[in-house]
Amino acid sequence: MGEVYLARDERLGREVAVKVLPQSALTNEAIRKRLRKEARALSKLSHPNIETLLEFDSQGNVEYLVVEYIAGTSLDDTLTKGPLPEKEIARLGVQLANGLAAAHAQKVVHCDLKPANLRITPDGRLKILDFGIAKLLKPPRETIGTNATTDSASGDQATAGTLPYMAPEQLQSQPVDARSDTWAAGAVLYEMATGQRPFREETGPRLTDAILHQPLVPPRALNSRISPELERIIIKCLEKEPENRYQSAQDLEVDLRQLALPRTAESIRTFGPTRTRWQIAALAAACAVVLGMVMVLMNVGGVRDWLFRVGGPGRIESIAVLPLENLSGDTEQDYFAEGMTDELTTALAQISSLRVISRTSAMLYKGTHKPLPEIAHELNVDAVVEGTVLRSGDEVRITAQLIYAPTDRYLWAKSYQRDLQDVLKLQAEVASAIANEIEIAVTPQERARLASAPAVVPTAYEAYLKGRFHWNRSAERDWLIARQYFEQATQLDPNYAPAYAGLADYYWLTDELPPQIRMPKAKQYALKALEIDPNLAEAHASLAEVRFLGDWNWPEAEKEFKRALELDPGSGEAHRRYTDYLSEMGRADEAIAEVRRTQKLDPLSTSTQVAMGWTFYFARRYDEAIEQCGKVVGLEANSVNAHNCLGLSYLAKKMYEQAVQECQKAVSLSGNDPARAVDLARAYAQSGNKAAARSILNAWREHVQQGYIPSFFFAQVHVALGEKDEGLNWLEKAYTERDSRLVQLMVDPAFDSVRPDPRFQNLMHRLDFPPYAHLRLLDEPRRAQQASVVAPPLAGHGPPNPWWNCSLIRPSCLHPRQRPFGPELFPARASG
């Protein structure tokens, strides 16, 4: 945005306006280039209906424009009082067309014509302002008139403008010419005649769809006082196809003059040139002399409203896809609109150089009407994508548009219509178009993946989208419905890989089945998905969870996590899962760094914020866990996970009253979920209320007859009750059942009291945890009293690492790969 100063030329005794870039933009070469291009466009123009450029120069690293100061009011302000009389419309319209004709004759297209950029002087003269995004017509080879293609005056490829006044071809980033300005002039005439814009939809996606596809409401339907001839002129200007509009501004001027014939020639006169070039040059020189004084003069209120703006898009490196709007009016089709949003987000997230906000955060804006710059600020992104979806039978129409957030300027828009079986190619096409518009670096491999979107059986795709719709609700009953839809999708199209990945997700995550049953199924479906599509990121993420939670194959799990993130670097969910892996492998510092990356991709997701709390908890940083989850509860009081994490963090600090309270809230909010009740039982046991803890155990024993309760839960409660042998018995059973929660054993404070036990150490050895895990299992005061012991290196594994602190039992230890886990091994973090 430029800073505008009202100045006085002391030599010629007149006021001028000076525009400079703000301090914050002086190092932005894209904006500086745009200012120079504006000057270039204006320098070609000398006409009484166009603002006059007096000088363009620089002082130091500050470039500035000097233009004539135009007193009066903007047309925008004038129209707040309602429609204008027809004779006044004709009088102003003739001047508008005359000014545009002069610009087009110099191969300049305005591209941002609107009432706010038209000023009416006290003597009734209309002035066209703000050539900030003007385009310069390329010299035509075999063209007639002014209908040549354009070269952006801003130097970037993105099409900018003000949405309600952008011609259809401008919205779709197609070449623009003089007829695009004719469309905008028609929109201005329509507003002068009716007091309303041609298309009244308020939201960007609906407005774009209306401009591109909806018929125009005839002006006389809104204002019966205007003549049929004026209505004909306006409708001809606003034809959606350029060839059906006035082919030049001169043609529009002729018809408007005919409309104004009853008035005298003086009343509708156009204003011929009144200055010679030497006079302009002299005035410009005088302005240069007084520049130093000009720069310190105060900004006068109102000047900013009429002088053209600078706001070219800077570099776009981050983006959010807002929920696409369902235009069908049928809420039963919401799943389809959400699915299209997810697919577009996923496609863009494959571009490693672009930070794409995850669906969880973006979906929070569904149905809201916040200003786009505010949304972008909250998500910390440079640009947003919004749009609409309309499905009719097997036909899908998507209208998408790209908005540069800081200036709320529309850069690109396009409407796509495809058969449902080609909808994946459609999404890839939209993502590629957006990437091209923002000129982000896309690797050949990423382009190949975008271009390789397969066809899909429409009914299978519909079933898959319904499955994901329910899956994203994150409730066990919805997961069951999701599983049914995923199964249906695989039956309808056995070669649709994402449906198998959806089934893999269900089976590795659900608690409805024992691990021995669900984990093999999860592996089967993940491998099937990868057999069909080896580059499907979500299938690699699913297989990573199977390797981690089911196979206990730590290196293979990490390999799959990394492959998933390589294919889909913008997936907040994949980053969150990898955080869990790193945390439970004892790599706390890496886990914290990873969850911070997740926060950038999913800044408003409570799941991400709670994940940070759990990462602190397993790193034994309880105060930070309490602080983090306390913030979450402050924003979302019913967050089960946050209350759960708070309860266990208080328990670790022996703050029993608070621990019990938080765990009770988690159980209540979750509907008595055993995964929450286990921590309440632990809190009861450790606080001395053993009867309450046993009552939970007894309830589980009864429930086991009807459903599955993980043995791991029984182990945790028995250890909390001080019944170590019974707890270890249940851990052995959990091992036999291949309970996925055993991956927590290295870091879970619940088992600190049994870590020295030989049975526990033997179990740790069988699980074969990695030797590089950094663990801190002692509180700060105890760690401060200990002498660290450095383990000897294992052949081929590099220099010594201070992983294991054994001084609690005896002052000697061996690398865990050199000897079995024994009671003398008490792991601690390297820092301790």
Residue 547 lies in a domain: no
Mean pLDDT of 699-714: 84
**Residue 411 belongs to a domain:** yes
Cβ atoms < 10 Å from Cβ of 225: 9
Higher pLDDT, 209 or 579: 579
SS3 sequence, 157-182? CCCCCCHHHCCHHHHCCCCCCHHHHH
* 179 and 144 co-located in one domain: yes
Pair 199, 341 in one domain = no
What are the backbone angles phi and psi of residue 756, rounded to the nearest 5°?
A: -75, -10
Tell me how far apart the 2 most distant CA atoms of the chain are, in Å.
Answer: 109
Query: Cβ(721)–Cβ(690) under 8 Å?
Result: yes
The answer, yes or no, to whether residue 476 has pLDDT greater than 50, is: yes
Q: Are residues 90 and 166 in the same domain?
A: yes
Domain boundary among 455, 477, 502: 455
pLDDT at 8 over 60: yes
Q: Among 8, 9, 6, which Cα is nearest to 20's?
A: 6
Q: How many CB atoms lie within 10 A of CB 790?
A: 14
Whether residue 449 is found in the same domain as residue 324: yes
Burial class from Cβ neighbours inside 10 Å (0-12, 13-18, 19+) for residue 251 reads middle
Amino acid at 824: E
Q: Are residues 95 and 241 in the same domain?
A: yes
- What are the angstrom distances between the C-alpha of 831 and each of 374, 772, 787? 42, 14, 11
3-state SS of 647-678 is HHHHHHCCCHHHHHHHHHHHHHHHCCCHHHHH
Helical ranges in 688-786 per DSSP H: 690-703, 711-720, 724-737, 758-767, 780-784
Domain match, 33 and 110 both: no
Q: What is the pLDDT of residue 30?
A: 67
Lowest-confidence segment of 11-20, 259-268, 416-425, 599-608 by average pLDDT: 259-268
Question: CA–CA separation, 685 vs 693, rounded Å?
Answer: 6
pLDDT number for residue 271: 40
Q: Is residue 333 part of a domain?
A: yes
Find the mean pLDDT for residues 3-20: 81
SS3 60: coil
pLDDT average, residue stretch 812-816: 29
Same domain, 329 and 231: no
Query: Per residue in 717-728, pLDDT tens?
Result: 999 999 999 999
Q: What number of H helices and E strands is found in the chain? A: 35, 16
- 583 domain-assigned: no
* Look-up of token digits 């220099």: 799
Split at pLDDT 50, 70, 90, the class of 596 is very high
Q: Write down which residue in 455, 472, 492 finishes a domain.
A: 455
Residues 273-301 have a mean pLDDT of: 42
What band does 273 get if pLDDT is binned at 50, 70 and 90? very low
pLDDT at 642 over 60: yes
Q: Which tens digit of pLDDT belongs to each residue from 519-550?
A: 999 999 999 999 999 999 999 999 999 999 99
774 phi and psi angles, rounded to 5 deg: -100, 115
| Per-residue confidence (pLDDT) for residue 425, from 0 to 100 | 82
Binning pLDDT at 50, 70 and 90, where does residue 777 land? very low
Compute the distance between CA of residue 815 and CA of residue 790 in angstroms, rounded to an integer: 9
**Residue pointed to by tokens 């294992």:** 794
Going by pLDDT thresholds of 50, 70 and 90, the confidence category of residue 757 is: very high
Q: What is the pLDDT of residues 322-351, one digit of tens each?
A: 999 888 778 888 888 898 999 899 889 989
Q: 62-66, 105-109, 164-168, 462-466: which range is least confident on average? A: 62-66
What is d(CA 644, CA 665) in angstroms, rounded to the nearest whole number?
A: 8
User: 532: which 2 tokens?
Assistant: 């069909």
Within a domain: 288: yes
CA distance 542 to 560: 9
Predicted local distance difference test score (pLDDT) of residue 585: 94
> DSSP characters for 610-638?
HHHHHHHHHTT-HHHHHHHHHHHHHH-TT
The more confidently predicted of residues 309 and 44 is: 44
User: Which of 407-421, 512-526, 699-713 is the most confident on average?
Assistant: 512-526
What is residue 283's predicted lDDT score, i.e. its pLDDT? 46
End-to-end CA, the chain = 53
Verify that 137 and 37 share a domain, yes or no.
no
CATH of the domain at 99: 1.10.510.10
Q: Which two tokens stand for residue 131?
A: 């050539």
Evaluate if residue 811 carries a pLDDT over 50: no
364 and 409 co-located in one domain: yes
Between 393 and 566, name the one with better pLDDT.
566
pTM: 0.65
Chain Cα centroid distance, residue 63: 34
pLDDT in tens, 126-185: 999 877 665 655 544 333 233 443 433 333 334 567 889 999 998 887 889 999 999 999
3 state SS of 135: strand
Say what the pLDDT of residue 106 is: 85
Q: Is residue 139 part of a domain?
A: yes
Based on the domain organization, do 363 and 282 belong to the same domain?
A: no
Residue 330, domain member (yes or no): yes
pLDDT grade, residue 67 (50/70/90)? confident
Nearest to 752 by CA among 784, 788, 781, 776: 776
Compute φ and ψ for 483, nearest 5 degrees. -60, -40
Based on the fold, state whether residues 180 and 202 are members of the same structural domain. Answer: yes
Beta carbons within 8 Å of 262's beta carbon, 6+ residues apart: 87
pLDDT of res. 151: 35
Could you identify the residue written with the tokens 């569904």?
366
**pLDDT > 90: percent of the chain:** 48
Which range has the worst mean pLDDT, 76-90, 458-472, 539-553, 758-772? 758-772
Any idea which of 191-195, 747-751, 795-799 has the lowest mean pLDDT? 795-799
Range of the domain at 389: 320-455
List the CATH number of the domain containing 66.
3.30.200.20
CA angle 758/762/766 to nearest 5° reads 170
Residue 39, domain member (yes or no): yes
CATH code, domain with 433: 3.40.50.10610
Average pLDDT over residues 817-825: 29
Does position 567 have pLDDT exceeding 50, yes or no? yes
What is the 3 state secondary structure string of 266-322?
CCCCCCCCCCCHHHHHHHHHHHHHCHHHHCCCCCCCCHHHHCCCCCCCCCCCEEEEC
Report the percentage of the chain scoring pLDDT > 70: 81
Q: Report the domain count for the chain.
A: 4
- Are 643 and 665 within 8 A, CB to CB? yes
647 token code pair: 């309860």
Do residues 280 and 255 share a domain? Answer: no
Please tell me the predicted confidence (pLDDT) of residue 2: 62
